[in-house]
Amino acid sequence: MKNRSGYTAVSPYTAPCWLPGGHLQTIYAYALRQTMNFTYRRERWETPDGDFIDLDWLDPSPESLSLVVLFHGLEGSSRGHYAICLMNELRRRGIRGVVVHFRGCSGEVNRLARAYHSGDSSEIDWILRRFRERQPNLRFYAVGVSIGGNMLLKWLGEQGENALRVVDRAAAISVPVDLTIGAQRLDYGCSRLIYTSRFLRSMKPKVLAKISAHGLPIDGRALCAISTFREIDDLYTAPFHGFKDAPDYWQHSSSKPWLRRIRVPTLMINARNDPFFPGDALPTPAEVSDCVALEFSQTGGHVGFVTGKFPGDLSWLPSRILRFFSQAVE
């Protein structure tokens, strides 16, 4: 049975036999070399609170009637493998695209003591409405990956019917919709050693810079010693973004409670072997509105979805997303 978004809850993706397991499917996709068949044009937006964000634009055709905006994952950027693959496909099809960098993710530390956080739907609201105001006649599609997807889904649920005035369709990829479960998954075992340590290597220097620039009451030695998301969210993310502590931040920032209120046709793609989020914690059809299409494959890893004979490629995901968006004009 199809829902109002036009898709059933069955994913056609299957990982190639030469790439087994969620960890390999995640790491290989990240490491797979991508060629940029385009040049970004950077634009800076001043935020209402005196900060800034940077946007990297793909402008393949001034006649294009569609715009796809991408919100990256934790500590991501326009140079991420999934961003390059999506922009390459948009260029091939003559569609406008833009990657929005969250505060501090474009290569320059943002001005304020705050940064970005996993539930910052108010920032998503400001960004998307500004796009719509600038381009009122375009078909407008939003894609969120991982934490960027959580922020987007939360915004879609909070806005309900009002979101239909802003975006035509949306897609959320490899989203940890329950941040408590996601953080617990990443803070233990091999995931902590492989993934969390990498994220922290990027996050710690940014917080240290903020300690220096703003005199934050954070012990730099304690910051350097942390090794889990629980610790950095208790020390910095939660208190400097309006939350009591890490559990409070995770609870109030998760998108899962908002999924029933989404009214924009939305495609959710997750792999059940995603090492960032367990398959048994993914939402069921009863936990989402009938505007949300759930496509949960058994394989794929975290924003992996490699396909084809060795060495493979990453064409499946952008093609799947754009096929869903194309239904808006069929």
Three-class DSSP category at 52 = strand
- Please check the confidence at residue 10 and state whether its pLDDT lies above 70: no
Three-class DSSP category at 114 = coil
- Please check the confidence at residue 1 and state whether its pLDDT lies above 70: no
Three-class DSSP category at 165 = helix
Mean pLDDT of the chain: 95
Q: What is the DSSP string of 219-245?
A: -HHHHHH--SHHHHIIIIITGGGT-SS
Annotated catalytic residue within 54, 274, 289, 297: 274
pTM of the model: 0.95
Cβ burial 110-146 (10 Å sphere, 16+ → b, else e)? bbbbbbbbbbbbebbbbbbeebeeeeeeebbbbbbbb
- For the stretch 52-64, pLDDT in tens is 999 999 987 777 8
- Determine whether 274 is an active site residue: yes
- Please check the confidence at residue 43 and state whether its pLDDT lies above 90: yes
Annotated catalytic residue within 81, 101, 117, 302: 302
- For the stretch 298-311, pLDDT in tens is 999 999 999 999 99
- Domain 22-177+254-329, second-level architecture: 3-Layer(aba) Sandwich (3.40)
E strands, the chain, in order: 41-46, 52-58, 66-71, 96-100, 139-145, 169-173, 266-271, 292-297
Contacts of residue 198, defined as CB under 8 A and 6 or more positions apart, other chains included, come to none
User: Cα–Cα distance between 144 and 156 in angstroms, integer?
Assistant: 11
Annotated catalytic residue within 146, 191, 255, 297: 146
Indicate where the chain has its CATH 3.40.50.1820 domain(s). 22-177+254-329
Which residues on neighbouring strands pair with residue 171, listed in sequence order?
A: 143, 267
